[in-house]
Amino acid sequence: MDHFIDILLNGIAPIDMFAYMIVGYFGVLTKTTMHLARIFKGVNFKFKIFWQKNKLSLFGSCLMVPIGVVFSQQMFDIELSTWTAFLSGISTQVISETILKRKKNGESDSSQSQEDFS
């Protein structure tokens, strides 16, 4: 079982992975706070409205943070650190928001690329 966990976590100790995930989730929270400050500037904040519009994005980010932390060493060829985990959290939130915006607008990369070449 220990060998399976070692392979799954890509050689990261489970306690370190837990710490990196917390830092990654802090990155998601930071990006979400920046997003809220931009949207609700000068307007009363309503958590219910925010939750309705952003729950899928936050859920997707929470699922992607562990993946981003585990594979950040291979994707970016840098050593895993708290800074890398923080940036992974911010990046997953941006990716999640982008995917949902494209899905909402009905856009896809394949249709855009076909239009560009016609």
Check residue 11 and report its DSSP letter: T
At 27 the pLDDT is 92
Residue 114 lies in a domain: no
Domain containing 93: what range? Answer: 2-107
Domain count, the chain: 1
Residue 116 lies in a domain: no
At 33 the pLDDT is 85
Residue 113 lies in a domain: no
Residue 42 lies in a domain: yes
Residue 45 lies in a domain: yes
Residue 115 lies in a domain: no
DSSP string of 29-93, one letter each residue: HHHHHHHHHHHTTTS---HHHHHHHHHHHHHHHHHHHHHHHHHHHHHH-----HHHHHHHHHHHH
Q: What is the mean pLDDT of the chain?
A: 80
Can you tell me the mean pLDDT for 95-108? 78
Residue 112 lies in a domain: no
Residues 32-90: tens digit of each pLDDT? 888 888 877 777 878 887 888 788 888 888 888 888 888 887 777 788 888 988 988 89
